[in-house]
Amino acid sequence: MKGQTRNVLLGIGLALLVSACSSAPQQERTDAPQGGTLSGPVVEQRWNLLLVGTDERLSMPETPYFRIGRDGKVSGSDGCNQFTGKVSLGESQRIEFSELASTRMACPNMEDAKRVTDMLDTAYRYLIDHDRLVFFGPDSRVLGGWREAN
C-alpha cells in the first residue's frame, strides 16, 4: 500500500511540475531591429552538440555546432553539412530559428544530421545552466543539449 501511495503522490507532483512549466504559445517575438543587434547569453557563442533528446549522443564525422550572431543570423554545421539561417529571441527564453538553408553533401549519417537541424527547427524555448544550453519544444519536451565551446 505504501508503494501505491508513493506512486500516486509522485504522479501528482509530476503533473503539477509539467503544468507549471508549460504554457500556451504566445506571440512574443523580439527580432533584431533594423540596424540593431541581438544580445543575451546564447549570442556570440559557439555551441557544440552534446545530446539529442535527454541522453542520446550522436557519432558524427564532425561535431554539430551553431553560432548566433548579433545580427540575428545563425550559422553552423549539422555534423555533415553547413547551414545558415535567422534567429529571433523573445521574452521568457523564447527562441525561433527560421529560413534554415544547408549545403547538400552526402554523408554516412544523414539521418542524424537531419535530427540536428530538426531540433533547431522545432526549438521553442531554451535554458542555460552554466556551460550547457537545452532546447525545449512547444510541448516543453527536451529536444537536446549543447555545450559552450571553449
Q: Give 6-21 pLDDT, tens digit per residue.
A: 443 334 443 333 333 4
- From the CB of residue 75, how many other CB atoms can be counted at a distance below 10 Å? 13
Please report the pLDDT score of residue 36 as a whole number: 59
100 contacts 117 by C-beta, under 8 angstroms: yes
Share of the chain above pLDDT 70, in %: 76
pLDDT digits (tens, 9 = 90+) for 55-88: 888 888 899 999 999 999 999 999 999 999 999 9
Q: Which residues of 55-72 are buried (b: 16+ CB within 10 A; e: fewer)?
A: eeebebeeebbbebeeeb
Q: Where are the alpha helices (DSSP H) in 1-150?
A: 2-21, 110-122
Q: How far apart are the first and last CA of the chain?
A: 51
Q: What are phi and psi of 77, to 5 degrees?
A: -135, 140
Contact 83, 117 (CB under 8 A): yes
The model scores a pTM over 0.85: no
45 band by pLDDT with thresholds 50, 70 and 90: very high
Q: Taking 70 as the threshold, does the pLDDT of residue 5 lie above it?
A: no
Cα 25–77–56 angle (5° rounding)?
A: 70
